[in-house]
Amino acid sequence: MYELKRGEIKQTGKPDELIPARLYVKGDETSSEAHGSDEHPGAYGGDEHPGAQEERAVDNIAPKTQTEAETAEMQQRTEEAVAASKKSEGETTEKNKDGMATEQTTEDEVSENKDEKNPPAQRKTDKETAASKNKSTQAAPAVPAVPAAPAAQAAPAAPAAQAAPAAPAAQAAPAVPAAPATPAAPAASTNQTENKPAAKKAAKKQTAKTENKPAENKPAENKPAENKPAENKPAENKPAENDATSPNQTENKPAAKKQAAKKQAAAAKQDVAQEKTAAAASLKDEEAAKKQDSAAQQDVAAQNTAKADEAAPAAASERAEEERLESKTGQQDPASSAPEPPRESSASLFRKRSLTVLGPDIDGKIPRSQSRSRLPPVASNIILTYQSSWPQPFLHCCKDDGDWTDLPGLAFESKGQGMWTIQLDASKVEFVCTDGKGAWDKARQGGNYSISAPGEYIVRAGETKRSLPPPRKPQLVVVDSIGSSSLTLAWNAPDEEDGLAGYRIYCNANGTDFVAQTDADTRSYTVENLKGSVKYVFSVTAVNEDGVESKGIIVEGKTRSPGMPSAPTFLQVASHGTDQITLSWSPPKDTGGASVTAYHVFRDGVAVDTLVSRDPQTGENLTTMTWQDKKVEAGKSYTYAVSAMHLPNRTPSQSELVDLLVKRASGSLLEVQEEDNEGPPTEEITAKAVTALRMPRLGEQVPHVILQGFNWWSCENKNGWYKVLLSKVQEFKEAGFDMVWLPPPAQCADKRGYLPSKWYDLNSYYGAQDDLIALGQALGDAGICPMMDLVINHRCASKQDHRGKWTVYEQPEWGAWAICGNDGSGTGEGNKSTGELLEYAPDIDHTNQKVQQDTKDWVDWMFKTVGFRALRLDFVIGFAPHLQEMYVRAAGSPFTVAEYWHGDPSVLRNYVNASKGQIAVFDFPVYYTLKEAVRSDEFGGLRWDGNKPPGIMGSDPVRSCTFVENHDTDHLEVVGGPFGNNDQIVRGYVYILTHPGTPTVFWSDWSDRGKDIQAQITRCVQIRQERGIHCLSKCSIVVAEGGLYAAYIEGKNGNLAIKLGNRDWSPNGGQWEVAASGRGYCVWVKN
């Protein structure tokens, strides 16, 4: 193992085998990866390295163990060095006499042998060390242990004054004189110098200047010997100064040279003996080592061949000396004379030995699969994907700092499923999105979106980011179960699930019609409402978090023969009167695999009629059926049920109709067996032939009084709150209340119902669904309109998705797409909220068309199922008023009041105007003003400009709902505490029940303050009903000052006068009589 750091390659560990690798160098960072091709420096077995364009690769082979061939070669080098030293004695003496010699030295460290069996070599004298290094320029080249970075080019052949720097060694040669390095080969040892003739002559003329350090010689085991350079810089070559006092310089005398040569030869022989001992120990690994070393020897052999001619003259004399030495030792290394085979590169050697797909095919090319991690080609434009529920979004943009587009901007193209795309010929763009009708989508921080580089991007939930690549396809899609009208599909997840958001199912002849989308953890889906005995083609795709789909997997399935349909759904009483009862219902959930063309109607358990639901001429089916029973008696109750039929029964009156239906029937319908023609009936419902409850509306001159039928703690009633209210319906009627505001009806995450979850589940902490339906029917029968507390700004999911986020909704089924993109939870994928965000529940994207339709359908179902006829809207500051107006109109424009908690009348008027007058507001300005007046007995604030009452009551009484207390103000200190004591509470109700607007009485004030307080409030409600005081009744204020408030109010059935405060006052004229009185108030009516 090696490390490249600051220009040096250092050994950091011992590898166990040859591991081809590619060393990537980028800046100061280095990394190594197994590679499979030289075609691209970033190829990782077919994958592209993210920084491939900036990297350079260096083939790297891990160090090898020493083989017998290496041992023989080292012995050869030793013998050559001895011969060269003798030959150079004469030349050195002659050259020194002329004073023309130059000195060339290289700095090197000799390895120290640490093996116990081979004691360290004896330290050589300064002269012996210098002579040994001087001869190292002629020794055979050492086999490089690791191909390092290419060495610097060799110096010219002119007499060298300074040796070229050698690359740091990866494996040290034995402590013998080294051979000259090949110019083009990577330097493997600091013992190698340039093998140039001029440099070689200079080395023979002068002795080397060297550092006097002990040699380090590691044992010849299967470990690389460590060899570190003394300094990471080239050695200095200076002319020798014949200064005997310098310990690093040898004396320039013939006798000294001769003596040094002899000592060098003796030391070399000792090293040879040590090498032979190490070689004998490694013979058992010879075959394995030769295989590993073959590739490395080929490169060295090729380099040595190029130098052969250049070193020919010296080689002749060296061979003679070699023969002489061999004759003395009686041994010769056969490997020293054998030519080395051509050496392959590490990459080619790896491919040849690899059994992976990286191995070459028959034409020598490297097959590679397309990599998912490769960098995409450099884009020249911007492709933008936008997720929106708008019918047609536009891009209002400025490209490349140019001019902005004309409004509404460039139109997006639909990709389906709420995904839109547009391609811009630009390198950067600033933009916002719009629906072309005044709605804008800006970045989450409120500014414009911006993209500063070409590429593919997605805009979603107020953010812009790079698009994810398409996901992998699902695997092994199968038909898991088969029914008459359904097929269940199942599949396995893709082999890669990063970024996976879910799956989409398509169905038709080509498998392209969207059916549904599941989350990432759901790997099966049942496709319903299919025809029997029909083959269907399905496609299942994977979709990522950006809404990008994979290719689909196609599967076919055939349904079984048609069977019996299930019971119809949503049977309810649409209307009733003294002379008729009208029913409505929807088709069955399971048609049994064939069309339902008729329904059987039962009254009191007897079939009374057959309703055909298919047009025999066009073949179209009705989606909502209605049937009217006119054979009823006023005041009598009846039970009803309905069943579904594939074909109506053939009777004399319907024979022709049946023939037409059969003529146009499909093959599935004709396959139905007779016993499967009709399904089971619905559960029975009861209806009474009485006058139907009319829907109250804003602005009508009717003396409406609302009772809020719960408080903050009603949900904790052990018997069920709906049962409590059901027991008091007759009291509500006698008191004069004509609307009762009921608590939120849906199943919820909290007790009080203001965190709704499953809309169609009406079992809550207030009671069971059946109790609520019974209460609604009882109120309707009493002529009292149930008011629905509609909480739709936010909604809590019932399950977690694959990310562990609460985004899976049931009844109706929604996903993260229904949550506002800027919701505080961070899970939303919809458009930004059109109002203020709520902190404790996910804000719903009411710009989404499916959300809108589901909301409309639910309100309609609640009106028909429970009997609601009025609406109270919760937290209306959370979404746009025009969306609330849409829902109110869809419900038939019933009386609707909104909770807009604000004390400024101008703010409330702006809201009312934004809803186009379809919605009233709770009059908080009147609440705050009246509360202060009653507490302080100072009534000047009850007369505003123009002698009008305060708040919305004075400016727009039709849309003013006055109140004294409600379930929030009753216990929240933010409003300054409760309204007051019992006397103050009564005076407050005397004021709002006798004045314009629509008053609301709080449950706790009417029911929980004692019989006397209840009686006083009830009497004021009755006076309003008797005199016909309505929202538009005229109010004339006579006195509004400290201690006294007095006014006259006109009703449809007569006028009344009112006095509040401790001061005396009575109405002018005769025929006035006291209708109600108490502490601090009096009410007169005129006969």
Residue of 326, 430, 615, 874 with catalytic role: 874
Which residue spans within 6-147 are E strands per DSSP? Answer: 8-11, 21-26, 29-33, 43-44, 47-48, 56-60
10: nearest Cα among 143, 142, 162, 172:
172
Two structure tokens written together for 917: 């007058």
What is the layout of strands, in order, in the sheet containing 21-26?
29-33, 21-26, 56-60
Two structure tokens written together for 763: 């079992």
User: 842 preceded by cis ω (within 30°)?
Assistant: no
Q: How far apart are CA 877 and CA 884, in angstroms?
A: 10
Place of tokens 């080098």: 77
Helix (H), strand (E) at residue 393? none
Maximum CA pair distance of the chain? 156
Q: How many Cα atoms occupy the beta-carbon half-sphere of 33 within 13 Å? A: 22
Distances from the Cα of 215 to the Cα of 134, 138, 218, 220, 830, angstroms: 16, 20, 10, 15, 75
Tell me the DSSP string of 614-651: B-TTT-PBPSSEEEEE----TT-EEEEEEEEESS----
Q: What are phi and psi of 405, to 5 degrees?
A: -70, 155
Burial of 453 (0-12, 13-18, 19+ CB in 10 A): exposed
Residue 230 sits at the vertex; the CA angle it makes with 225 and 235, to the nearest 5 degrees, is 120
Contact 714, 966 (CB under 8 A): no
Place of tokens 């909480």: 791
Distances from the Cα of 810 to the Cα of 745, 819, 963, angstroms: 16, 14, 36
Residue of 899, 923, 956, 970 with catalytic role: 899
Question: Residue 93 contacts by C-beta under 8 Å, 6 or more apart in sequence?
Answer: 254, 257
Q: Give the rounded distance of the alpha carbon of 32 from its chain centre.
A: 32
Place of tokens 């105007």: 913
Taking the CA atoms of 1026, 1031, 1037 and 1042 in sequence, report the sign of the dihedral they define: positive
Contact 300, 261 (CB under 8 A): no
Our answer to whether residue 899 is catalytic in this structure is yes
Our answer to whether residue 70 is catalytic in this structure is no
Contact 571, 623 (CB under 8 A): no
Q: What are phi and psi of 287, to 5 degrees?
A: -65, -45
Q: How far apart are CA 585 and CA 642, in angstroms?
A: 9
Distances from the Cα of 748 to the Cα of 756, 794, 841, 877, 971, angstroms: 4, 11, 11, 21, 22
Phi/psi class of residue 1054: alpha, beta or left (left: φ > 0; alpha: ψ in -120 to 50)?
left
Query: Reduced to 3 states, what is the DSSP secondary structure of residue 359?
Result: coil
Pairing of strands 598-603, 581-586: unpaired
Q: How far apart are CA 75 and CA 694, in angstroms?
A: 116
Which amino acid, one-letter code, is at 216?
E
Q: What share of the chain is helix, strand, coil (3-state, %, to 5)?
A: 25, 25, 50
Q: Which residues are catalytic?
A: 874, 899
